[in-house]
Amino acid sequence: MTTTPSRPRSPGASAAILLSVLLLFGAAAFVAGLVVGGNGDGIAGPVPSGATSPEPTTAVPSEPATPRPSQVIETVSCAEPTEAFAVLCDVYAQIEQGYVDDVDEETLVDGAVRGMIEYGLGDPYSGYLPQSQYERALDDLSGEFSGIGAEVGMENVDDPDDLQSCTVVTATCAIVIVAPLDGSPAEAAGLRPGDRILEVDGTSTVGESLSTLVFEIRGEAGTDVTLTVGRGDEELDITITRAVIDLQEVSGELLDGDVAYLRLSSFTDRSTALLRDELGSLLDQGATAIVLDLRGNPGGYIVAAQGIASQFLPEGELLFTVESGGDVQRWAAEAGGLATDPSIPLAVLVDGGAASASEIVAAALQETGRATVVGISTFGKNTVQIWNDLEHGGGLRLTTDRWFTPSHGSVAPDGVQPDVVEEAAEDPTSEDDPQLDRALETLRGG
C-alpha cells in the first residue's frame, strides 16, 4: 500500500473470448478457472455460445447459500447395466479379452472417464483429475503456489463465440496466455497476453485438455519448462524457471490525493479480508471516492464474491444460483461493509478478462446503482463448478449451477455491459491507462 500519486499500470489481458483460468480448488462452490502453477486449481469460464440459461421458477430461500455436501448417487454396474451403458461394458470386455497387447485396467477407466467428460458433456468447465494430480491440487489453498505464474485459457481461433467445441487443443482450438501474473517468472521470461502455447518441452499440445496441460506446465520451483508459443506469425521458444509465487490478490494506493484505487486480481479464500484491510487503510488516509479494478480477474470462490460486494452494499440481493435440480438459492450482502455509504462514489473497471466472480460483483454493484462500471464488456460466464472426491482418489469438477444477477438477468454470453465504454491502451505494456483515466473523470462528475 502506498500513498504516492503514481499511476498503476493497466493489467494486460487478451481481448479475445477465452476460457479464463485461475488458481482455485476445493470442495466449496466456485466460479473460476486454472492458473499455470499452483497447488490448487479449478476451472470455469464463459457459457458456450447458444447455451440457454433458465429463469428461476421456484421459491427463493431467505438465507444466503452455503456449500452443499456431495450427494449420494445411484451407480451403474456392468452386472446389470442400463441400456445406454451396455455398449460401454461391451467394449471394455472386448478390449480385456481380445486386445493384442496387455492393457492396464486403471488406464482404460481413466480414458473412459476423460472421454465421458471432455466429449460427452461438451462443457469445457467440467473436468477430471486422476489421483496424482488431484492430490497436488488440494495440497495448498492459501494462494501460494509453485509454477510459472500465468493465467491460461482456451480460444477458438476460427469462431471465438464457439467454445463448446474446444474441450481439447486442435488446429482451431488453442491454449493461450490470458495474462502473466505480476512479478511472475512468466512475466520475466517475456510471455504476453494472447501467446498461443504450441508445445511444452517439445511435445505438441494438440489433443490435450486444458486441465492436463496445466499440470504439464506446472512443476517444482527451480526447474525449467520450455514453451513454444505462437505470437502473430512468429514461433518462439521461451524457457521459464518455475518458482514459488505468493499470489498478490489485492493491491492499492491513493490517487489524486483522495481516490482509493483497489486492484483485485482473484477471488481466493483470503481476498475479502485483504481487500477490507486495504480499503480501510485508504479510507483512514482520507479517501473520499473509490476505483475497484477487476480487469483481467478471471474469478474465484463465490463466497469471496459475496464478501467483496458486501464491502460496498449495505443490504440486498447479490445473485441467485439455480442448481441442477432447479432449486434456487439467494446470496445476499453481509453486514459490516466499510464503504456502503452511497455518498462515497464508486467506479468499477472491467474488461474481457473479468469473468465469473468478477461479473457477480460488477453486476450487483451496477444493478443496485451503487457503482458506475467503466471499460468494455466482460467475459460472459454464469456457471458454477464444484469439485467432488472420487473413490479412487481423483476429483471430478462438475458444472452444477447457473447464477443470475439481482434482477434475474444473465451475463452469458455477452457479459456485463459497462455504463461508460472505454477501450484499453493499444500497447498492453504502456503506462497509459485510458480506462482508469475515464473512471477518475466519472468520479469527478466528468
Residue linked to cell 486495504:
278
Burial class of residue 234, CB neighbours in 10 A (0-12, 13-18, 19+): exposed
Task: State the pairing for strand pair 289-293/346-350.
Answer: parallel
Tally the residues of the chain: 446
Q: How far apart are CA 159 and CA 66, in angstroms?
A: 37
Q: At what angle do helices 83-98 and 105-115 cross, to 10 degrees?
A: 140
Give CA–CA dist 209/212, Å, rounded: 5
Measure Cα distances from 114 to 42, 110, 329, 370 in Å: 16, 6, 31, 44
**C-alpha cell of residue 419:** 455504463
Active-site residue flag, 367: yes
In the chain, the N- to C-terminal Cα span, in Å, equals 27
Cα separations in angstroms, 250 against 210, 260, 361, 436: 27, 13, 15, 17
Residue 100: partners with Cβ closer than 8 Å, 6 or more residues away:
none
- Residues 197 and 217: their CA atoms lie apart, in Å, by 10
Report the candidate in 96, 135, 123, 143 with the shortest Cα–Cα distance to residue 19: 123
Catalytic residue among 310, 381, 410, 422: 381
Judged by phi (left if over 0) then psi (alpha if -120 to 50, else beta), residue 268 lies in: beta
Check 278, 317, 359, 367 and give the catalytic one: 367
Backbone dihedral angles phi then psi of residue 213, each to the nearest 5 degrees: -65, -35
Q: In three state form, how does the secondary structure of 24-77 look?
A: CCCCCCEECCCEEECCCCCCCCCCCCCCCCCCCCCCCCCCECCCCCCCCCCCCC
User: CA–CA distance from 203 to each of 39, 216, 274 (Å)?
Assistant: 23, 10, 40
Cβ distance 223 to 201 under 8 Å? no
Give catalytic status of residue 381 as yes or no: yes
- Is 209 part of the annotated catalytic residue set? no
Q: Where are the alpha helices (DSSP H) in 60-219?
A: 83-98, 105-115, 131-137, 185-189, 210-217
Tell me which of 356, 358, 359, 410 is the catalytic residue: 356
Burial 371-385 (b: 16+ CB within 10 A, else e): bbbbbbbbbbbbbbb
Catalytic residues: 356, 367, 381
